[in-house]
A and B are shown apart, each in its own frame.
Chain A
Amino acid sequence: MKAVQQKITPGWLGAIPAAWLAVLFLIPFAIMLSVSVAHRVPGGFFEPGFELTSYARLFTPFFGRILLTSVLVAAGAALICVALAFPFTVVLTGLRRRAQTLVLVVLLAVLSLSEVIIGFSLSTLLSRTAGVGNLLAWIGLTEAPQAYTPSLFALMAGLCYLGFPYAVLVLYPPVSRLDPELGEAARIMGASPLRAFVTVTMPVLRAPLAGALILVFVFTLGAYLLPQLLGRPRHWTLSVHITDQAIFQSNLPFAAAMAVLLLLVALAMVGLALLLGREKGTPA
Chain B
Amino acid sequence: MTELSLRGLTKRFGAATAVEDVTLDIPHGKFVCLLGPSGCGKTTLLRLIAGLEEPTSGQVLVAGQDQTGVPTHRRDFGMVFQSLALFPHLSVAENVAYPLAIRGIDRATRRKRAAELLEMVRLPDVGERRIHQLSGGQRQRVAIARGLAIDPQVFLLDEPLSALDANLREHMQVELRQLQQRLGVTTVVVTHDQKEALTMADVLIVMDQGRVQQMGAPMDLYRDPANAFVAGFIGSTNLIPCRLSGRVLDMPGGRVALADGDRVKCPEGAAVLSVRPEDVRFAEQGLPATVGFIRDLGESVQFVLERDGQQVTALFAPRERPSVGLGDTVRLAFEPGRLVVLAP
Complex contact flag A–B (Cβ < 8 Å): yes
With both beta carbons as reference points, the residue of chain B lying nearest to A193 in the complex is identified as B73
A 154-189 binary contact with B (CB < 8 Å = 1; else 0): 000000000000000000000000010110111111
Q: How far is A199 from B72 in the complex, measured between Cα atoms in Å?
A: 17
Q: Hey, which chain B residues are within 8 Å of A203, CB to CB? A: 89
Give every chain A residue within 8 A of B87 (Cβ-Cβ).
Answer: 182, 185-186, 200, 204
Nearest CB in chain B: distance from A235 CB, A: 39
Q: Is A261 an interface residue (CB 8 A)?
A: no
The answer to whether A188 touches B88 (Cβ under 8 A) is no
- Residue A140 interfacial (CB < 8 Å): no
B60-77 contacts to A, CB under 8 A, are: 71-77
Looking at the complex, which of B78-86, B277-285, B309-317 is the stretch in contact with chain A? Answer: B78-86
Closest to A183 in B: B85
Chain A residues contacting B76 (CB-CB under 8 Å) are: 190
12 A/B residue pairs, CB under 8 Å, sorted by A = A182-B85, A186-B87, A186-B98, A187-B73, A188-B77, A190-B99, A190-B150, A192-B71, A196-B73, A200-B87, A204-B87, A204-B89
Asked if B108 is at the interface (CB within 8 A of a chain A CB), the reply is no
**Nearest CB in chain A: distance from B306 CB, A:** 47
Instruction: Determine the distance from Cα of A206 to Cα of B88 in the docked complex, in whole angstroms.
Output: 12
- B242-276: CB near A (< 8 Å → 1, else 0) gives 00000000000000000000000000000000000
Taking a contact as CB atoms under 8 Å apart, the answer to whether A190 and B81 are in contact is no
A181 to B146 alpha-carbon distance, docked (Å) = 14
Contact residues in B for A206 (Cβ distance below 8 Å)? 89
Closest 9 CB pairs of A and B: A185-B85, A189-B99, A181-B85, A190-B102, A203-B89, A181-B81, A187-B72, A188-B79, A187-B73
Known: A179-B83, A181-B83, A184-B52. A189 touches B102 (CB 8 A): yes
Inter-chain contact B83/A188, CB cutoff 8 Å: no
A261 CA to B89 CA in the complex, in Å? 37
A232 in the interface (beta carbon within 8 A): no
B82 CB contacts on chain A under 8 angstroms: 181
Complex Cα gap A179–B84 (Å): 10
A241 to B73, CA, bound (A): 54
With a cutoff of 8 Å between Cβ atoms, the chain A residues found around residue B146 in the complex are 189
Contact B102 A185 (CB under 8 A): no
- Whether A179 contacts B85 by the Cβ 8 Å rule is yes
Interface residues of B (CB under 8 A from A): 50-52, 71-79, 81-83, 85, 87-89, 98-99, 102-103, 132, 146, 149-150
A104 on interface, CB distance cutoff 8 Å: no
Nearest-neighbor residue (CB-CB) of A200 within chain B: B87
- Please state if A188 and B72 are interface contacts (CB–CB under 8 Å): yes
A→B interface (CB under 8 Å): 179, 181-182, 184-193, 195-196, 199-200, 203-204, 206, 284
Closest to B99 in A: A189
Tell me, rounded to whole Å, the shortest Cβ–Cβ distance linking A197 to chain B.
Answer: 12
Q: Which of B73, B103, B132 is close to A188, meaning CB atoms less than 8 Å apart? A: B73
In Å, the complex CA distance between A189 and B76 comes to 7
Quote the shortest CB–CB distance from B50 to chain A (angstroms): 6
State the Cβ distance, B46 to closest chain A Cβ, in Å: 11
A184→B103 contact, CB < 8 A: no
Q: Kindly state the separation between the CA atoms of A191 and B79 in the bound complex, as whole angstroms.
A: 13
Given A184-B52, A204-B88, A204-B89, A190:B73 Cβ within 8 A:
yes
Docked CA distance A189–B51 (Å): 12
The answer to whether A188 and B102 have CB atoms under 8 Å apart is: no
Task: Name the distance in Å between B95's Cβ and chain A's nearest Cβ.
Answer: 10
Asked if residues B150 and A184 are in contact (CB atoms below 8 Å), the reply is no
Q: How far is the CB of A99 from chain B (nearest CB, A)?
A: 13
Least CB separation from A205: chain B residue: B89
**Is there an interface contact between A191 and B102, defined as CB atoms closer than 8 Å?**
yes
User: Chain A CB within 10 Å — which of B77, B79, B103 has the most?
Assistant: B79
Alpha-carbon separation in the docked complex, A191 to B90 (Å):
15
Instruction: List the A side residues contacting B103 at CB < 8 Å.
Output: 190
Residue among A190, A192, A195, A199 having the largest count of chain B Cβ atoms under 10 Å: A190
Which A residues lie within 8 Å of B77 (CB)? Answer: 188
Q: Which residue of B lies closest to A190 (CB)?
A: B102
Of B75, B85, B88, B99, the residue contacting A184 (CB under 8 A) is B85
**Which residues on the B side are within 8 Å of A284 (C-beta)?**
88, 132
Nearest A residue to B14, CB-CB: A96
CB-based contact A192/B73 at 8 Å: yes
Instruction: Name the residue in B51, B82, B98 with the highest tally of chain A Cβ atoms < 10 Å from its Cβ.
Output: B98
A77 to B292 alpha-carbon distance, docked (Å) = 76
Closest to B132 in A: A284
- Chain A residues contacting B79 (CB-CB under 8 Å) are 185, 188-189
Question: In the complex, how many angstroms separate the beta carbon of A284 from the nearest chain B beta carbon?
Answer: 7
The interface residues of chain A lying within 8 Å CB-to-CB of B52 are: 184, 187-188
Smallest Cβ-Cβ distance to B52: which chain A residue: A184
Q: How far is the CA of A206 from the CA of B89 in the complex (A)?
A: 10
Considering the chains assembled together, what is the distance between the CA atoms of A225 and B17 in angstroms? 54
Query: In whole angstroms, how far apart are the Cα atoms of A203 and B87 in the complex?
Result: 10
- Report the minimum CB–CB distance from A83 to chain B (whole Å): 20
- B89 A188 Cβ-Cβ under 8 A: no
- Give every chain B residue within 8 A of A196 (Cβ-Cβ): 73
- Cβ of B192 to closest chain A Cβ, rounded Å: 18
